[in-house]
Chains A and B, each alone.
Chain A
């Protein structure tokens, strides 16, 4: 017997997840959108303020800087993570006994929480890099995390170290799905491994790019834990990412309605970027 639509057990099976989803995601989304047009202080609304918060965003240099910083960070890590992830994926799908142990190593950082990662790298940049500077006399290694540039690259290094192994796993599963006889046939016909990569593997990996770009993009844009633990946004909020800016506006400065206006703006940006990216990648995939 099939369940009929709207019969009792249908809704019974759906209820817990659907109820949680609505209470945790959609009610706050709707309420939050409304709050962002009011003077909500976390518990009470006394008046409607219209677009006041949104207009204020344009002159909030900290917020704009955090958007720019996050955008740059996202661009750089997407490129690096995908290059390294794909490179490692190609290296570790050849016949070799080293494949499994090396995959294990590269994936490992991904299992560690962002807070802990941030603290580990804080030690490396602040203490170990300083020791390298003393040892080699290279001022390049000195004073990491104390400037905006070193804070930026510090975050990039941390995130690339964390995520490359994850993206590598995704590329590996796609590379393994490429039928072996095609590669063998090309090999017999005398194609170089360079040609095999560009002419055969690369086009067949198009869906892997879509998935990996989507994952790195949405992940990088929302980074909070690593940012908080590594640089704390400093010096002078210059390495603050959007997520942290929203968090601080709400829970440190207690500026709830204004923070929610930022959060709503953030939502719009994330949705637009994700949808555009998926759309473009899907089209590219077809044309390849």
Chain B
């Protein structure tokens, strides 16, 4: 068995690394509370004169609530659309084994290898001509890019759902649609959680795609707003840092509450 001393040393190492990991957060928080001048005279220490005003000013100037609700709407709608469409598609594929399904599954599988940057230019050109560079267009693009991964996860989970269940449900003659939503979908809940977690993190933080699709200031999401705000205020670190903290806070709050699901979702998504 390990000696107690050795155990303590290992704990100390882990703690030391954790402090290094937290240091950027410390620097960000203390400096967001300083005045513009103090950041240059005292970067590493605690603030001498706490400036809470940085936060209210940053919040107002970056139109926080506006961009927050844009991010929320886009994330929630995209995730719902993705969950509904990809779970149904995976169900159809898993219950109809055969040549056609193999082909369709193969098409989804190949798409995983295609990096976004290699299709982004014609994609934006096409959607621009179709007048689809707007929020519904963005949701549709997320469905196209995200469905492969979601279908894999659902398809894998459906393998362990016995087919008798579908048939038993349909003795009373319900439609396939009803069978799926009433019987099968609830069983897939753990996978649904994984799909929601992985894709919410992606949609919420995504910058590149929205920066190309969203062309109206009033539709800007948090990453877009942060980008524009930072460009304007990069000489005023106190406001810029306050804005960065404000942009992170919603994610951290979510993380605190849903930590268990997030960590499980992330590892399931990678491992399965």
A residues with CB within 8 A of B: 1-6, 9-10, 13-14, 16-18, 20-29, 31-32, 35, 42-43, 88, 91-92, 94, 96, 98, 102-116, 119-121, 123-124, 127-128, 130-132, 135, 161, 165-166, 169-170, 172-174, 187, 193, 211, 215, 218, 221-222, 224-225, 229, 242-243, 246-247, 250-251, 256, 259-260, 263-264, 266-267, 270-271, 274-275
B119 near A32: Cβ-Cβ < 8 Å: yes
B residues with CB within 8 A of A: 1-2, 7, 10-11, 13-15, 17-18, 21-22, 24, 27-28, 31, 39-40, 43-44, 81, 84-86, 88-89, 91-93, 95-96, 98, 100-101, 104, 107-108, 111, 113-123, 125-126, 128-129, 140-141, 143-145, 147-148, 151, 163, 166-167, 170, 175-177, 180, 201, 204-208, 212, 222-223, 226-227, 230, 237, 240-241, 244, 247-248, 251-252, 255, 259, 262-263, 266-267, 270-271
How many Å lie between the Cα of A161 and that of B111 in the bound state? 29
How many Å lie between the Cα of A124 and that of B2 in the bound state? 39
How many Å lie between the Cα of A10 and that of B101 in the bound state? 10
Question: Do most interface residues of chain A lie in helix, strand or loop, or is the interface mixed?
Answer: helix
How many Å lie between the Cα of A25 and that of B24 in the bound state? 38
Query: Which B residues are in CB contact (< 8 Å) with A20?
Result: 85, 140-141, 143-144, 147
A246 near B44: Cβ-Cβ < 8 Å: no
Question: Do most interface residues of chain B lie in helix, strand or loop, or is the interface mixed?
Answer: helix
B266 near A166: Cβ-Cβ < 8 Å: yes
Contacts A111-B201, A247-B117 known; 5 new A-B pairs at CB < 8 A? A10-B96, A32-B122, A114-B205, A224-B207, A246-B121
Query: Which A residues are in CB contact (< 8 Å) with B84?
Result: 16
Query: Which B residues are in CB contact (< 8 Å) with A29?
Result: 114, 118-119, 122
User: Among B89, B119, B207, which residue has its beta carbon within 8 angstroms of that of A14?
Assistant: B89
How many Å lie between the Cα of A224 and that of B40 in the bound state? 30
